[in-house]
Homo-oligomer: A and B are copies of this chain.
Amino acid sequence: MANLFTLGALDGGARRGRLQLAHGAVETPCFMPVGTAATVKGLTPAELREAHTQIVLANTYHLWLRPGKETIEAAGGLHAFMAWDGPILTDSGGFQVFSLEGRRRLDDEGVTFASHLDGSEHRFTPESVIGFQEAIGSDVAMLLDVCVKLPASREELEESVRLTAAWARRSAAVPPSGATLRFAIVQGGLDAALRERSARELVELDFAGYAVGGLSVGETRAEMYATARATAALLPEAKPRYLMGVGTVRDLVAAVDCGIDLFDCVYPTRCGRNGRAMTSGGELNIFNAPFTRDFSPLDPSCDCSTCTNFSRAYLAHLFRAKEMLGPRLLSYHNVYLVNALMRAARDAIAAGEWALFRDRASG
C-alpha cells in the first residue's frame, strides 16, 4: 500500500501531517465535525467548506437504521446522498450499540441490538460493519470494537481488548472494496498493560490508522491525557492517530500535545445549538443577560460570517425568541473556531512554536 500519511514537522509531542484520502487530502492535526445522520446539524456542505472543514464524520449505527444502506447506495453513496464531496470518516457504530444497555446482546461473533427508533432487531459483526462503510463509500472506515464505560473491572477491560483484537483480525480478512481506508481502535481503559497489549495486537495487523478509543467516557481529564499520550507512543509513527470524542479547545490542544492527529466531537455543534459559544477568550453563554445589549461580535478576533455580520445582542435575541437562526449561526461559529484553532496549531507546529502556542491556547 502506498504511504497515504505523510508526517511533516514534529515539535515536542505534536505532529504536523497530511492524510491522503479518496476524496481529498486532510492536513493534520484536524478536527472532524460530526454529521451523525449524514448532516452536520444545521449546516450545509457549502458552509462546512467555507468554515474550512476538511473531513466530516458520519455514524454507521444511525445511517444503518435510517435511511439504511440500500437508500444510500441507490443515491450513489454517502457523499452524493449528503452532497458533501470531501472526505468522510464513518465510525463503526460500536460506541452507540454498546451504549444501548439492556437492548443489546454481545457474543463472540458480533452484537445483536434493538433499534432505538422502532425496536427492530439488527446485528453488527466485524464484517457487516466494514461492508456497510465500504458500500456507502466512506473514505475511512472504523473497525467494530468493544467499548466499555469507565470505571470498568479488569475483566471487562480484558474481554474488550480480546474481542476488539479478534474482530480486528476478522476485519482484516475482509477483502478490500473501493478506496476506503480502515482504522483500528485501541481499547484497554486506563490500564497501561492492557493498552499496550491492545495496541500491539492491532499494530501487528498493519491498518492504515489507529484510534485511541474508550476515552471521554467518564474518566478525569488528567487520566484521559495520560492514557492518550501513553497510547499514542505505542502506535507507529508513520500512521495517523485519532482520538475519539474530543472537541473542546482545552482538550484539543492537550491531545495534539499527546501526538494525536485527528479528532471528532459533537461538542462544537451541540454547544452551538444550546447557546454556548466557543471563543478565543473562552466559552460564553449567549443567554447571559448582559449580551442582550452587547453589540460587539461573538468573538472580536474571529472572521467567520457569524462574527462579521451579527452582534451578540442579535444572537441573544434569536436564542431568547427560540429562532432557529440562532443555533445555526452559533454552530457555524463554533465549527469555524475549532477549525481555525487546528489551522493555527498546524502553523505553530510547522514553525517550531508549538509549546508557545499550546501554553497560550490552553491559558
* Chain A residues packing against B (C-beta within 8 Å): 37-39, 41-46, 62, 66-67, 71, 74-76, 81-83, 292-293, 295, 305, 309-311, 313-314, 317-318, 320-321, 323-325, 327-329
Contact = CB atoms under 8 A, between A and B. Distances in A.
B75 A42 contact: no
A45 B37 CA distance: 27
B44 A325 contact: yes
A325 B46 CA distance: 13
Copy total for this chain: 2
A51 B239 CA distance: 46
A325 B41 contact: yes
Given A67-B313, A83-B309, A314-B81, A323 B41 contact: yes
Given A83-B310, A314-B83, A67 B325 contact: no
A71 B310 contact: no
Given A74-B293, A313-B81, A314-B81, A324 B321 contact: no
B317 A37 contact: yes
B325 A66 contact: no
A138 to B, nearest CB: 17
Contacts of A323: 37, 39, 41
A206 to B, nearest CB: 36
A43 B81 CA distance: 23
A266 to B, nearest CB: 13
24 contacts: A37-B317, A37-B318, A37-B321, A38-B314, A38-B317, A39-B318, A39-B323, A41-B325, A44-B309, A44-B325, A46-B305, A62-B321, A66-B317, A66-B320, A67-B320, A71-B292, A71-B313, A75-B295, A75-B314, A76-B295, A81-B314, A82-B314, A83-B314, A324-B327
Nearest to A324: B42
B42 A328 contact: yes
Nearest to A74: B293
A325 B35 CA distance: 11
A330 to B, nearest CB: 12
Contacts of A43: 325
